[in-house]
Structure 1
Amino acid sequence: MDGSKLSQEELVDKLKQQVAMENIELLLTKMSRLCFNKCVTKPANSLDSSEQKCVTMCMDRYMETVSLVSKSFGERIMSESQNMH
């Protein structure tokens, strides 16, 4: 019985890891598309320096925003769960 419980826990952990990886991939895909569309007006074989700078800054701002929203959301959930007790 213990072996099956451990196996279930391992399965749950693996599923959580898989979901987290899929969320990261989705985030990166969305960020790349958004920043590319914003910064690259005339696609060519390579990015010029202003496009590179724009993409870098866009990705930095996007990640900062995602981090801030995630942190605020986490704090709100914690606050609401404490208020329920």
Structure 2
Amino acid sequence: MATSISATQKQQVMQQVRQELAQQNFQELLARINPKCFERCIMKPGTRLDSSEQTCLGRCVDTYIQTWNLVSTTYLRRLQREGGK
């Protein structure tokens, strides 16, 4: 016996999948940002960040997030375009 799901249930499942993927993407992004930006910005690790290190880290994180968003958006558009064929 086949079970069918309603359009609403399908939308709910898809939304949940999207949220889980977004969370996984964010965790992956953080795992990549931390070592890269630390290596780039922190020359002498200590107990505090000086203002230049804080500025560098802020810019590094912003750049990484902007790039990640651009790549993700481009990839999703491509998937949607190819899925429509």
The alignment's TM-score, normalised by the length of structure 2, stands at 0.70
**Which structure has greater helix proportion?**
1
Q: Structure 2: 5+ residue runs without aligned partners?
A: none
**What SS is found at the alignment partner of 1:45?**
coil
Q: Which residue of 1 aligns with 2:78?
A: 76
Distance 1:18 1:74 in 2: 15
Q: Which residue of 2 aligns with 1:37?
A: 39
Q: Structure 1: 5+ residue runs without aligned partners?
A: none
Q: 1:64 is matched with which residue: 53, 63, 66? A: 66
How many angstroms does 1:30 deviate by? Answer: 1.4
Bigger relative CO (Cα 8 Å, ≥ 6 apart): 2
Identity of aligned residues (%): 37
Letter of the 1:43 partner, please give it: P
Letter of the 2:41 partner, please give it: C
**What SS is found at the alignment partner of 1:41?**
coil
